[in-house]
Amino acid sequence: MKTPSISFLAGLMMLTSCKDQSNTLYTPQFTPWEITNSSSDNISWSKFKWVNGNLGSKFYERIALNVPCRIDGVQWPVAFQLDLGADVTGVDELTFKSFYPANPGLQSKIKSAGSNKYYDNLTLEFDSFTATKKSSYVYQNIGGVQSLNAGDTIRIGTIGADIFQSTVLIIDYPNERFAYCKTLPADLASNLIDITLDQQGCVILPMQYGGKSLRILFDTGSSIFPILTDPDKISWFSTSPDVEVLEVPSWGKTYTFTGKAMTGSFVLAGQTFSNVNAYSSTRNLGTGINYDGITGNVLFWNRTIAIDFMNKKFGIK
């Protein structure tokens, strides 16, 4: 499978953390996604695939979570990164251009609206459901033109939190699958906790640690970091000596990630965790954010999680 450059993956982990990438014309409340089940079952499972690779000089497993799917008019298999830290689902403009020589008509799918671009009538077909949207975001000047070889899967964009706003999302990490549901299954309905959604619809989990009540963004695009925060807040999570330093390229620049061991345990989303490192970066999480840190997939690799976006509930099994 063809995978994106590590600098691009790192860029997604750091830079799409629930920032408003669109203007109001394309936000979920104006042009919502329509999802159709391909079966009558409440749970419609689809597979995902982990991407492994180097971050800096160190090899990591499961640095990104890619979802295979199909797009109308594109005969090659494609994949989107499942990134709940991004508020909009969209295609990467430069990578999408890879398909133009074989199908020039695809160029007409990309429209302009002021300084933004959008994909006209995008349909994503997963294993068990289909998602459609009249105007979908285009990440301008992102990605790169790929050579199209038989059997290659091209990573074409990002699936953000906007697709699931009127649904229940289940991520079954051990079995590498996720599900769209209309209602929360009974076996996941116990031990639910209340969560909040920020103004872009991204998930904010409650955390209790060191006598503080903290707000943590659940970001599946920040896969390997159990806790990631700004340098001015790292002391809230750890004052221990550095145990790991990573130099990670992102968007043409290199950022330093510093890990520190957290003392004791903390409670996140109603679950207790210990023996965890907290990380900070020389790049701040962003301006105007309303959370104290980010958590990725790593704390949940052996679990199944459910997010009820409609009722603002989160469960772990």
Residues of the chain short of pLDDT 50, as ranges, are: 1-26, 28-29
Q: Are residues 276 and 151 in the same domain?
A: no
Task: Give the pLDDT confidence score for residue 250 in this predicted structure.
Answer: 67
Closest by CA to 9, choosing from 158, 168, 161, is 158
Which structure tokens are listed for 54?
A: 């180097």
- Asked which of 133, 164, 181 is the last residue of a domain, the reply is 181
CA separation, residue 263 to residues 10, 146, 213, 231, 246 (Å)? 27, 45, 16, 18, 21
Give the position of tokens 């989160």.
314
Q: What is the pLDDT of residues 237-269, one digit of tens each?
A: 999 999 999 887 765 678 889 999 999 999 999
Quick one: DSSP state of residue 17? S
Query: Maximum CA pair distance of the chain?
Result: 59
Kindly state whether residue 1 falls inside one of the protein's structural domains: no
CA count, 13 A, side-chain hemisphere, 102 = 11
CA distance 73 to 310: 33
Total domains present in the chain: 2
Kindly state whether residue 257 falls inside one of the protein's structural domains: yes
Q: Are residues 46 and 124 in the same domain?
A: yes
Range of the domain at 240: 186-316
Whether the Cβ atoms of residue 227 and residue 237 lie closer than 8 Å to each other:
yes
Q: Are residues 171 and 217 in the same domain?
A: no
- Asked which of 135, 165, 181 is the last residue of a domain, the reply is 181
Task: Give the pLDDT confidence score for residue 9 in this predicted structure.
Answer: 42
Q: Are residues 30 and 172 in the same domain?
A: yes
Q: Are residues 92 and 210 in the same domain?
A: no
Q: What is the pLDDT of residues 108-140, one digit of tens each?
A: 999 998 888 999 999 999 988 899 999 899 999
Task: Give the pLDDT confidence score for residue 188 in this predicted structure.
Answer: 86
Kindly state whether residue 139 falls inside one of the protein's structural domains: yes
pTM as predicted: 0.89
- Asked which of 149, 181, 213 is the last residue of a domain, the reply is 181
Kindly state whether residue 258 falls inside one of the protein's structural domains: yes
